[in-house]
Structure 1
Amino acid sequence: MKLHEHIGRLRVMLGFKGFTSVILCSLALIMFGIFYPDIRPQTYDIKLFSIANNTIRSPKTVIDEEKTNEEKQKAAREVAKAYTYETSQVQNRVSLMNSIFDVVEEVNGKYEKQKESGKSSNKLQEEKLAKLKEILTENVSGNVAGSIFDNSFLALLSASPDDLDAVRSVVVSSAEEALGKKITEDDVAYARDAVAVKISRSALPAGLKTAAAELGKYAIVPNYVYDAKLTEKRKKQAMDSVEPVKILQGQVIVQEGHLIDRETYRQLELFGLLKNSGSIKPYIGLAVFVLLACTLLYLYVRHMRAPEETKQNRLVMAGMILLIALALMKLIGALIHLQIAGIEYVYPAAMAPMLAQILLRDRSAFLLGVLLAACASIEFHGELADMFNAEMVVYALLSGTAGILLLLARLERTRLFKTGISVALFNMLAVCFIYLLNPGQMAQMDFLYSLLFAFLSGILSAVLTMGLQPFFEAAFGILSPMRLIELSNPNHPLLKKILIEAPGTYHHSLMVANLSEAACEAIGANGLLARVGSYYHDIGKTKRPQFFIENQMNTGNPHDRLEPEVSRDIIFAHTKDGAEMLKNYRLPKALVYIAEQHHGTTCIKYFYSKAKKKSSEVKEEDYRYSGPKPQTKEAAVINIADSVEAAVLRRKKFKIWSTALCRPA
């Protein structure tokens, strides 16, 4: 019993929806089991401050966030405080000094006339001092009145206008000179002392030097001040300039025999290499990937325009092709441990898409190519690589697509090997593209090995496709285009038999084939199947070729000497005889069904009319083919084309006979 018959029984037991669910769930579980070892990280039973039993390397390149943050904080701490030189302080403090002297002059002017009022000079000086402080407190920013000693104010109030101008000049010039330099908070005291020393060396009267020095010191303030915003900005720039601290792929985390300190333990924990720190994220990711793959397969089946049985047979075939490809992928993946450069490129990436293109002839070929490219990125990530190998995705996609497109015009099995060579050359170009765009260094021998394996991949794809195709054809009872083309070869024993023993039938079959193929292509049926079916539909006539009109060009009609019942049985027999001959030669069932059904239950009108003339009790049912009626579009089209071509043939035959009878002796 063939595989598709077992599938049919299981489908009856589970129902269409149940069967589809079982197939997809089984496929999902198998895929998860296949890739589970590839995503499961190796873990170690290690304790803090223990001795490492072996050398442990980083399985992939990661950014150490904790170390990176430490480096950023360190860079921020090393940033010096930012200061801003406030040039406006020179003008502000000079203006303040001038304002003080202006107020002194103003107060002296107001009390100038009161010198002769009889008030004592001490009383007058006290009033002037009070008025000066009042004005300074109200009109001058800063606590000038509280910062300058009263003796200094009294000295200024007692000075003559000329001496006061001299003091003003010395104080202002000294302040301008000192504030012209950058003065920080720490430098203020030194700058003030320098101003005081400079004023003390001036030519001012001795009584005014102290007041001038005090005013000069008061004029000096920090003009190179701490800028918090600028400091934070520079710290942020310093932190941003820190390169992320990476633990590189293959980097030694701990050497064998070394102590597992806190930093080493933290790195092992970061990679999930400790048994107590394993992450479930890879497993969830794999489950999501498998779910996506099965969803795509379900959508592929759901939107297919075909009966439910055909849909599910195609789903099973697509699943089997996928699993075979995954098994090969797993086998090649196991060879990576041999440390042979480029060994992953020997994976026959074009095999599954080519096989799907031959057997299914629809979008499944491209779908399988995409799914297997994604699977290759997981399987061939290597021991120390990231979880995805982008190079293998590109390689598998290009190779699979090339196999599909190159096969479209090369359906003969004998030319499939040539297609494999073309795919092999395409694979080599893909490897060149990958290596030449890879910024890393590559050894010349590694490159040559990769080219060799890529070439072998194309050859393997063709060989495996040729080897697996008959298995699927036999297991599922399908006719691939390649198989149909092989059966259309005129050197096939049955076609040679028709040509030699019944040349008229052979010509008739060719005409029917042309009509049937054109009609099937017009209505969306399988034109190639109709053509090949037409070649074999009348193979039963080779048992008694002279009893059929197309083979009676130079002989009489033997039916003229037979009873209509005998002629009927001879004509009827050619459908059953043809089916038996096709079965004996193990031709596909689709061709056997066409041979049985190409006349359906039509009536042989000629012999029925002939029998009716002899006896009115003749039943029409006795002169109808036993059938069955055509069950497929192709069989129905061949039925019509056969009748049309036979009618044309009879008309031509009648015309030839009429011409011969009317020709003068």
Structure 2
Amino acid sequence: MNFQEYIKNIRKILSYKLFAGLVFLILGLLLFGILYSNVKPETYDMELFSVADKTIRSPKTIEDEEKTAEERNIAAEEIENVYVYKKEMAQNRVLLLTSIFDFVNEVNQEEADKNNKEDGKEEIQPISSKLSLLKSKLTADVTEDVTETISDQTLIQLLEADPSELEKARGILVNNVEAIMNGKIREDQVNRVRSVLIDRITAAGLAKTVENASIELGKYAIIPNELYDPRLTEERKNHAMGEVEPVKILQGQIIVQEGHLIDRDIYRQLDMLGLLKSKPTVKPFIGLAIFVLLSIGALYIPFSKMKESEEKKQSFALLLGIVFVGALVVMKIMSLMEELDQYNLAYLFPAAMAPMIIRIMINERFALLMAIILAACGSIVFHDSISGTIEVEIALYILFSGLAGVIFLSGRSERFNLLRAGLLVSCVNVLLIFFLLFIGNGQISNIEYLFFIVFGVVSGILSAVLTMGILPFLEVGFGILSTMRLIELSSPNHPLLKRILIEAPGTYHHSVMVANLAESACEAIGANGLLARVGAYYHDLGKTKRPHFFIENQMNMENPHNKLPPATSKDIIIAHVTDGVEELRKHKMPKELVDIAEQHHGTTLLKFFYYKAVEMCEDVEESEYRYPGPKPQSREAAVISLADCVEAAVRSLSQPTPETIKSLVDSIVKDRLLDGQLNECDITIKQLELIKQTFCETLSGIFHSRIEYPGNKEQKVI
């Protein structure tokens, strides 16, 4: 049992969705397994206060949040408290003192005036009434309630003081308080400044009671005028903390050297980097799982939207998985070899191979996706011996190399074109390597430049060579007909085409004409024009078995059907389909070409022989004179079916004109449509109109300049 038959058996067991889902699930698991060792952090069995048995470097760049917070706290602590000088407070305190003395004088004056009005007799009021009056004035007229701070004893001393002594005390207090308060006074300086004021008052020689009252008033008047501003202080601390750069442990930085003690700080750093076996981290594996999910999703979503048969999509899914995994395995092997060499062997990886194979076997869209995903995988695999890191340079190299391979294969992919694409990819590789080396501005020796150039050239050529070597196995194994295979089959030197040319030259010419019609029509409706051309070349291969029974091969000879009964002629004509299919299968031709040969007549009626049998009064069933089918299943088979009939019909016209050609094409297409021959293929009425238009334009171009030479005899076509 070959590989293709094995796959067919699996398809029979599993439905399309289950098969495709299983393929992509296995592909995701393989991708995770291949990249697992590249993201798995290297851990060490280290204990606190033990001696390191090897030098350990950081596998990544990471912020040391604890150290950063510590540095920022230190920066904040270095910022001194911010104090704001309130200059207006000196004047306020002076005004407050002046008001107190004014109120004292006012109370004394009011009491004196009151006594003078009462019969001219002076009556001394109790001091308590004066005190109450003074306190009421101080409470009512002064914004600050001084009565809560200044004692009653002090107020009594002021009320009882001699006016001249009181005025002297006022002058001393106001001048000294104003002088002292004009300077900056903080909370911790208040007691010292008050002591200075007390000394000055004491030295002024005031009466004892006035002196005591003045001292208390002075102590009350002296307050801090340079005040702590918590908001501004906090702003400056925050600014200082923001100026501190985050403390980072850089990739490749030595955490601990061999033979050194692992202290608490080193142990903390090892723990933070996930390098301790006792405290493993799952973050890298979660990250890898997300990467695998995105990669497989990027392939599965467009794959699920492909407008292909389920059988072909299953083959595509399996092919995509095998090519992808194969490229990853090659990448992994080269990454392991890279550790044994001092040069970067990643540049030797045939990055364009997988995208070129997918471009040829499937389509350009999946080839581009393959290039992108392989570049992402390469950035993980070629990680410069540090697990969990991403190598951006290699990712760019693999990406552009793969894209170059797809772009240079955008045309028809012959073997020569594939080699040419490989050489062009080599040029792109070398340019990319120089770009990466020059932009890095590293110290590279001449011998290293030489190695890198060789690596880039070999990578491109190796991609083309491997693609050419692998393609035949994939084409046979999966039964996928690639563009390159079609071009090879279209060569006139192919043994089967040479056989048609030699044994049935009229059929060969007819096939070429049908190929021209079918290719242009398929391209007009968006079908595979190349497949239609090659299918048309082989669709009448069965006629080589009895070539002279077909009108195009009857040159200067009598039509043998004139001597045969209709039933025999019918069997011979119908047999060319089964004979051709048998011959194509015998030579292991692609299934698509076999299907076209089998379906190009569908279940159409052999009208000439059927009506001939009816005229001979034979009791015949119409079904006996129809081709066995099946009807065309693809657009290409349907177009070839119409082109085959149209070409034969137009060739039979003696005087083909654009009008007669158009009328004939309309009639044939309408007849096939009404006969239900197009019911089983994915073709629309609009596309049929485009097909008819293309047929008419092509046939008019072929027959418009035909010259009727004298002596030519018209020959009727069966």
Under TM normalisation by the shorter chain, which class is it?
0.7 to 0.9
Shift of 1:415: 0.5
Shift of 1:607: 5.6
Is 1:267 matched with 2:277?
Answer: no
Change (3 A) 1:142 1:420: farther
Distance 2:380 2:713 in 1: 82
TM-score, structure 2 length as denominator?
Answer: 0.80
Match of 2:157 among 151, 154, 158: 154
Letter in 1 for 2:536: S
Aligned residue in 2 for 1:351:
353
Q: Which runs of structure 2 are paired with 1:216-231 in the superposition (5 Å)?
A: 216-231=218-233
Distance 1:137 1:635 in 2: 112
Contact 2:409–2:417 (Cα < 8 Å) also in 1: no
Aligned residue in 1 for 2:490:
488
Letter in 2 for 1:160: P
Shift of 1:226: 2.0
Contact 1:61–1:249 (Cα < 8 Å) also in 2: yes
- SS of alignment partner, residue 485 of structure 1: helix
Contact 2:585–2:594 (Cα < 8 Å) also in 1: yes
Distance 1:629 1:156 in 2: 130
Aligned residue in 1 for 2:29:
29
Contact 1:549–1:650 (Cα < 8 Å) also in 2: no
Q: Deviations over 1:496-548 (max 9, x none)?
A: 44445544333211110122223333454322111111112234445555554
Q: Matched residue pairs, number?
A: 656
Aligned residue in 2 for 1:49:
49
Aligned residue in 2 for 1:475:
477
Change (3 A) 1:466 1:217: same
- SS of alignment partner, residue 641 of structure 2: helix
Distance 2:471 2:519 in 1: 25
Distance 2:324 2:483 in 1: 21
Letter in 1 for 2:79: V
Q: Which runs of structure 2 are paired with 1:312-461 in the superposition (5 Å)?
A: 312-338=314-340, 340=342, 342-361=344-363, 363-384=365-386, 386-430=388-432, 442-445=442-445, 453-461=455-463
Distance 2:388 2:169 in 1: 80
Shift of 1:646: 1.6
Shift of 1:560: 7.2
Shift of 1:408: 1.7
Q: Deviations over 1:34-58 (max 9, x none)?
A: 1221221111112222211111111
Change (3 A) 1:480 1:134: same
Distance 1:287 1:49 in 2: 36
Change (3 A) 1:300 1:456: same
Q: Which runs of structure 2 are paired with 1:288-303 in the superposition (5 Å)?
A: 288-303=290-305
- SS of alignment partner, residue 475 of structure 1: helix
Letter in 2 for 1:240: G
Is 1:535 matched with 2:540?
Answer: no
Distance 1:413 1:348 in 2: 18
Contact 2:150–2:217 (Cα < 8 Å) also in 1: no
Aligned residue in 1 for 2:519:
517
Q: Deviations over 1:618-648 (max 9, x none)?
A: 8877765565554544333323321221222
Is 1:107 matched with 2:110?
Answer: no
Q: Deviations over 1:380-403 (max 9, x none)?
A: 333336543444444444443343
Shift of 1:469: 1.7
Change (3 A) 1:505 1:136: same
Aligned residue in 2 for 1:12:
12
Distance 1:194 1:89 in 2: 19
Shift of 1:480: 0.8
Distance 1:72 1:487 in 2: 75
Distance 1:460 1:541 in 2: 44
Distance 2:45 2:561 in 1: 98
Deviates more, 1:578-587 or 1:46-55: 578-587
Contact 1:2–1:476 (Cα < 8 Å) also in 2: no
Aligned residue in 2 for 1:557:
558
Percent identical residues? 48
Distance 1:71 1:560 in 2: 104
Letter in 2 for 1:221: I
Change (3 A) 1:172 1:348: farther
Shift of 1:296: 4.1
Shift of 1:146: 4.8
Aligned residue in 1 for 2:283:
281
Letter in 1 for 2:520: A
Aligned residue in 2 for 1:182:
184
Change (3 A) 1:234 1:117: farther
Distance 2:522 2:587 in 1: 26
Aligned residue in 1 for 2:238:
236
Change (3 A) 1:342 1:95: farther
- SS of alignment partner, residue 111 of structure 1: helix
Deviates more, 1:287-296 or 1:197-206: 197-206
Shift of 1:149: 8.4
Distance 2:15 2:27 in 1: 18
Distance 2:166 2:637 in 1: 128
Deviates more, 1:92-101 or 1:209-218: 209-218
Distance 1:587 1:533 in 2: 11
Q: Deviations over 1:71-117 (max 9, x none)?
A: 22233333222222122311221111111121122122123344985
Q: Which runs of structure 2 are paired with 1:111-260 in the superposition (5 Å)?
A: 111-113=111-113, 114=115, 117=121, 128=130, 131-133=133-135, 135-136=137-138, 139-140=141-142, 141-143=144-146, 146-147=149-150, 150=153, 154=157, 157-160=160-163, 164-199=166-201, 212=214, 214-260=216-262
Contact 2:551–2:559 (Cα < 8 Å) also in 1: no
Contact 2:41–2:387 (Cα < 8 Å) also in 1: no
Contact 1:410–1:416 (Cα < 8 Å) also in 2: no
Shift of 1:223: 0.9
Change (3 A) 1:584 1:6: closer
Change (3 A) 1:531 1:145: closer
Change (3 A) 1:598 1:204: same
- SS of alignment partner, residue 84 of structure 1: strand
Aligned residue in 1 for 2:648:
646
Contact 1:351–1:461 (Cα < 8 Å) also in 2: yes
Q: Deviations over 1:291-311 (max 9, x none)?
A: 344444443343222332222
Change (3 A) 1:309 1:496: closer
Distance 1:64 1:312 in 2: 50
Q: Deviations over 1:533-581 (max 9, x none)?
A: 111223444555555433445x233527854577666655544554455
Contact 1:62–1:246 (Cα < 8 Å) also in 2: yes
Contact 1:152–1:214 (Cα < 8 Å) also in 2: no
Contact 2:42–2:387 (Cα < 8 Å) also in 1: no
- SS of alignment partner, residue 53 of structure 2: coil
Aligned residue in 1 for 2:684:
none
TM-score, structure 1 length as denominator?
Answer: 0.86
Shift of 1:181: 1.5
Distance 1:467 1:562 in 2: 54
Distance 2:595 2:111 in 1: 137
Shift of 1:376: 2.7
Distance 1:220 1:597 in 2: 114
Q: Deviations over 1:253-288 (max 9, x none)?
A: 111111222222111111121111001222233233
- SS of alignment partner, residue 60 of structure 1: coil
- SS of alignment partner, residue 188 of structure 2: coil
Distance 1:306 1:660 in 2: 49
Q: Which runs of structure 2 are paired with 1:41-120 in the superposition (5 Å)?
A: 41-113=41-113, 114=115, 117=121
Contact 1:4–1:313 (Cα < 8 Å) also in 2: no
Aligned residue in 2 for 1:464:
466
Distance 2:18 2:603 in 1: 38
Distance 2:533 2:129 in 1: 131
Distance 1:661 1:275 in 2: 96
Aligned residue in 1 for 2:669:
none
Considering only aligned residues, what root-mean-square deviation do their CA atoms show, in Å?
3.7
Deviates more, 1:40-49 or 1:214-223: 214-223
